[in-house]
A = this chain, B = another copy of it.
Amino acid sequence: MDRETDLDILARTELFRALPREALDEVRRSSSRKRVGKGDVLFHQDEPVSTLYIVVVGRLRALQTTAEGNQVIIRYLGPGEIAGYAALDDSATYPGTVAAVDDSHVIGLSKGAIRRLLERFPQVALNALSVLGNRYRETQLRLRELSTESVERRLARTILRLGSQAGRRTAHGIEIAFPLSRQDLAEMAGTTLHTVSRTLSGWEKDGLVMSGRRRVILCRPEALTVIAETAP
């Protein structure tokens, strides 16, 4: 593990930005790197909370499963973001499951280490508040969309969002840079894979997107934005 690099990486994460050098050193000392392969689970819903993870490279996703077995994707996590926020507010169990959707690297910190950092360095706590505040607002927004907007609109918003947080420029447009099935999109937009498939087929015919097996490319994002912002 390269010490210099690790400090640089930590300094750029949402949780440990703007820390004094001393604090950053302390973080590094209490953390450990870990590789997670595609599909590997970091922790399961309802398991006791032990660790907070920081994504270094790759992409993970947080999802929740209902009593009936339905899944809802809470969010995708990329470099610099945290997985396991339950360790921040000292809640007993993880509210969801986090698994890698691509080979990834994470840094793990024990619940105890996080507590110590929060109490000792106010900036860590302020950063943590900002992380939770942002996620809370993000979820409120989705709630609002889900209550008031059509499936097509929600789906347009969903892929635009994914494009902006994990998009890669290609010859045909912005490609969402991790495997993403119809089912995944359905679990994010609150619909079924059938409706997603039909909608994407329609958009593909109009040249708005290109999509295939677990792949989505946004060819005309502006046109999708129009859909995302047009009632009904």
> Would you call A64 an interface residue if the criterion is a C-beta within 8 Å of the partner chain's C-beta atoms?
yes
Q: Which of B88, B119, B122, B133 contacts A86 (CB 8 A)?
A: B133
> Would you call A128 an interface residue if the criterion is a C-beta within 8 Å of the partner chain's C-beta atoms?
yes
A83-140, CB < 8 A from B: 85-86, 88-91, 95-96, 118-120, 122, 125-126, 128-130, 132-137, 139-140
- In the complex formed, the residue of B with least CB distance to A137 is B95
Find out whether the CB atom of A129 lies under 8 angstroms from the CB atom of B125.
yes
> Would you call A146 an interface residue if the criterion is a C-beta within 8 Å of the partner chain's C-beta atoms?
yes
Find out whether the CB atom of B140 lies under 8 angstroms from the CB atom of A64.
yes
Query: Which segment, of A53-61, A68-76, A159-167, A202-210, faces chain B?
Result: A68-76
- In the complex formed, the residue of B with least CB distance to A130 is B89
Residues of A within 8 A of B (CB): 64, 66-68, 70, 72, 74, 85-86, 88-91, 95-96, 118-120, 122, 125-126, 128-130, 132-137, 139-140, 142-144, 146-148, 187, 190, 229, 231
